[in-house]
Structure 1
Amino acid sequence: MNVFYATIYGGILIGILFDINRSLKENFKIIKKTSFILDVLFWIVITLIVFIVVNTISKFQLRYYHFVALAVGFILYYNTISKFILKFNNIVIGFIKLLIKKIILNLVTILENLYYIIVYSIHLLFDIIFYIPSIIFTIGRKSSRRPLVKRK
């Protein structure tokens, strides 16, 4: 009987991973377009979980009740707490998306300000190097040509 209960827990774990998969598909547009990859990854992970559960519990002596217990665990999970776990996953994913969005916006703002600091510093440096000496030489040339006031 312990083998049956342990396999039910494996079915519950499969249900939790199923809800994580659903949450990811609902919250990310990129994942909707590439859901095939996520589905394949999900089924690979599920297969590994089934093998690990069956190996841990009964040393790969696969019986029909393992599949029944996995299905019972999944159905039990899906009909009881799946809604709450799905809402919780959506809240966590929404929080993470908001956090990443704020981090990226702040990083862009910092980089934009840094860009302007660098550009204006270089502009000031070129002004100092080229424009101010040009003004000094222009003033020097104009003052040496003729006096500003005519003397009689």
Structure 2
Amino acid sequence: MLPFTQDVSAFYATIYGGIAVGILFDIYRSLRHNFKIVRTLSLFFDTLFWLIVTMLTFITINAVENFDLRYYHIVALFIGFFIYYGTISKFILTGLNKVIYFITNLIKKTVHYIVDILSNLYYVIIYSVHLLFDIIFYIPNMFLATRKFVKRKSVGILKKKKRV
């Protein structure tokens, strides 16, 4: 039989486990609120959440009393969860939503800037290649056509002078 002080310390440690479950629940709620994929695949993410909570509960009980499960462990988990949920859950959830909003906006803006840079780079490359083709093909043809036109014009002027 364990002394009362060890039972009380195990009770408090299990309350901390309940608080950790509450924090995980708020993380899950904020992810579900901010991302559509979590909502659409809710069965998978619900299962994943409860598996993680179960592992956390077993780790807590193992750390506290080496899997010596007593009724007050369940009560302490619920008390810890309700203490967390009733006191600081709103603040943590708001903070998590702000952090997720900041990170997603940062990623969106970064991707947007990278796409803009690549788009501008694309146009620089395309216009450079277009200029090279103009220099290679169009401008020499312009000079050749002008030379032929000037030659024809000068031949026509010479014929007029001979008639006179």
- The residue number in structure 2 matching 1:58 is 65
Correspondence for 1:141: 148
1:125 corresponds to which residue?
A: 132
SS at structure 2 position matched to 1:62: coil
Aligned to 1:25: 32
For residues 92 and 110 of structure 2, the distance between their equivalents in structure 1, rounded to whole angstroms, comes to 27
Q: Distance in 2 between matches of 1:53 and 1:97?
A: 33
Equivalence for 2:3? none
- Structure 1, unmatched stretches of 5+, are none
- The two structures have a TM-score, normalised by structure 2, of 0.84
Shift of 1:30: 2.7
Structure 1 consecutive aligned stretches of length 4 or more whose deviation exceeds 6 Å: none
- In structure 2, the residue matched to 1:151 is 161
Matched, 1:14 2:21: yes
Instruction: After TM superposition, give the deviation of residue 145 of structure 1 in Å.
Output: 4.5
Residue identity in the other structure for 1:96: I
Alignment of 1:62-77 (within 5 A): 62-77=69-84
Secondary structure in 2 aligned to 1:151? helix
| Deviation (angstroms), 1:92 | 1.1
User: Which range is displaced more, 31-40 or 122-131?
Assistant: 31-40
Same amino acid, percent of matched pairs: 55
Aligned counterparts of 1:123 and 1:64: Cα–Cα separation in 2: 79
Cα shift readout 1:87-143 (whole Å, capped 9, x = no counterpart): 111111111122122212211211111111111111111111211222233234334
**Which of 112, 126, 138 is 1:105 aligned to?**
112
**Structure 1 position 84 matched with structure 2 position 94:** no
Question: Which of 1 and 2 has greater Rg?
Answer: 2
